[in-house]
Structures are given as C-alpha cells and as structure tokens.
Structure 1
C-alpha cells in the first residue's frame, strides 16, 4: 500500500513539473492593447455587440473590424474612452443608446421561442401564456426579437435617466 502511494506521488510530481516547465517554455504573450480595451468594457458579456463576450469585442475593436461604439451597455462614455485610448475619432452619426425589449400583448402567442433565446433570462412566461420582459434584467441584445415569429417583440430605447444620460458636447462657435 505504501509503495503504491509513493509511486503515485512521484508520478504526479513528475508530471506536474513537466507541465510547469512546458507552460514556461511555450508561453505566448497576448496583445496588451486588447487587454486594455477589454478592461474598459463593462464586462457584461451580453453579446449585444455580436461578438462572443467582451474579449471578442475587444479583439474586434483593436483589429478594426468593429467600431468602438459596438457595445450598447457601455454607452457613449465607454465608446469615447476606447476611441481616445486607440487614438481614433468617432463619427458624428455614431450615437448608441441602450435598448430593452417590449412584448406587445396582442401579438404574443406564447410560443416560448423568445424565452429560449434570452441569454439573461429576462423574459417570464409559459407555453401558450402571455410573456413579459423584466426591464432590469434585459440587456437589449435583440436575440428574442429576431426569433419571435409574430413580430411581437420590439426594441425600445431606454428613456433617459440620471444613470444613462450623457451631457452633449457644447456647440462650437466660429
């Protein structure tokens, strides 16, 4: 019994040492700019940007395949901070606002396709029953609206409040 325990401990120690050495030898440095942009994003990993989480969005922003405004939960403040950090300017027409889903009662047939596709479990309802959306949990990812066969779900801009209002830039006089 003691021999088996000692031999297993020796084997596991040897394999652990080999894995540790291999991880040091084959270590690959990541792009530090991607890590910096990812730290600026809100870390919601909601998928509203169309990328797999905030890490995917950060990679796309850094390589230029996505605009800094691709993150609706981050809003204007995050988009401007990312643009400033990367040294790019935002286009004048790029105005993003957070959205939430709204289910129109008279069109909802209770098919539950929206519930199955909601990544944040913000929709409450059952089969052949009216569904509702919890505004606090909705991330505005639009996945439910895309899957709704009757078009009962529409995406509405969040009303401005103290939590999502951004002061516009002052007009420049010539």
Structure 2
C-alpha cells in the first residue's frame, strides 16, 4: 500500500462491508489511490466520507453512487437464537468476529463489535439474522467514530490472521490430481452439515415448522 492509499485507508470507516465493490477497506483505498475506483463508493462513510476522500485526493466531491447503496443509519445484526442451528457460517462471514458461538449451538452478536456490515445476512441458511437500527437520525460519520473505526480495523486484522492460520492448519494441500474436485467436495460437506442441522432443528421443534408471522423478516 503506497502513502496515498494508506492515508485514504485511514479515512475510511473500516466496516469491511464490501459494498464499495472491493474485498475490504484496504482494497478500496488502494483502488482509489490508483485511480481505479471513485471516491463515492462507500455508503457507510456517506457524504462526509466522500468529502474526506476528496480532500485527500484532490478530486471533486460527488454524490454517493447509488449502485453501491445509500447512506443511512448504522445497523446492528441480531440473531433469533430460537432459530439458530449453529451452522457457524456467520462466524466466518463476520469480518470483526462480532458473532460468537460454537458448532451446533446457538450464536449471538456482541453489540460493541458489530459494524453493521450485513455480511452475515446472506450466509444464514435459516434466515435467523435481522438488522436493528442503532443510530436513528444519524448516518455516515455522524453514526460512527474514529475510535470505532480503529477498533473495527484491529478486529478485522486479527480475524484475517486467525482465518489464515486456521486454513493453513486444518486444510491440507490437495493432491494435484484432485485439485478440481476439492472445491466440489467442500461444498458437498458444507451442504450436508447444514441439511443435518436443519433436520435436527425440525425434529426438536416440530411445532415450529413455520416461523410465526411476526418473526418473518
């Protein structure tokens, strides 16, 4: 990361939400510094975030590009623990390790660590995660702070380091002849785990085959 990219990175909210089209805030910062991305692609930063990047890059401050989302209040993820099957998919998806839990046991969200990135929502196979507005009437940097951004970045870096160690320890290198089959086998195992968890949940709570209307997202 060059000097300009580093300054841009420091000006971002560090939610690691990927809504800008890049895998994390660092990737977006480098793209902006390289001229490959606009300064108006970060919904969590909002108008104030765009103004910050305009000052750093000397570019014109533009409205937030709607294809990347809209500026709004910060949200926090909530898990309906009665419906959680403990599949652990959200643990991997959360960039700041704000979700805690173990396999086959219900998970919960640590409020102080959640950035509202929403990445846990699409991976949940039972749709038990919802969002709750945390900062009504406040959006962008008015709903966030530099201290929170710094803490989120530190947690993201620890998460990335931990996931890297886990992959090196738990995933042996596939044989050359099985290189193409390995991703398919992993997907099959993951689907089997989810299907088994769903079956156990249904068997344990037959009266909850359908979620009550008020619990629907």
Fold agreement, TM-score > 0.5 = yes
* 1:48 counterpart = 2:48: no
SS in 2 for 1:154: strand
SS in 2 for 1:86: coil
CA contact (8 A) 1:61 1:68 kept: no
Matched with 1:109 is: 85
Q: What is the alpha-carbon distance in structure 2 between the residues aligned to residue 52 and residue 151 of structure 1?
A: 23
Deviation at 1:123, TM superposition (A): 0.9
- The structure with higher relative contact order (CA 8 Å, sep 6+) is 2
Matched with 1:11 is: none
**Partner residue of 2:37 out of 65, 72, 77:** 65
Deviation at 1:149, TM superposition (A): 0.3
| C-alpha distance 124-33 of structure 1, shift in aligned 2 (>3 A) | closer
Matched with 2:50 is: 79
Q: Give the structure with higher Rg (CA).
A: 1
Q: What is the alpha-carbon distance in structure 2 between the residues aligned to residue 91 and residue 47 of structure 1?
A: 17
Describe the superposition over 1:95-124 as per-residue Cα deviations: whole angstroms up to 9, x where unpaired: 243332111233322222112322211112
Describe the superposition over 1:101-155 as per-residue Cα deviations: whole angstroms up to 9, x where unpaired: 1112333222221123222111122233221101111122222212110111123
TM-score (norm 1): 0.58
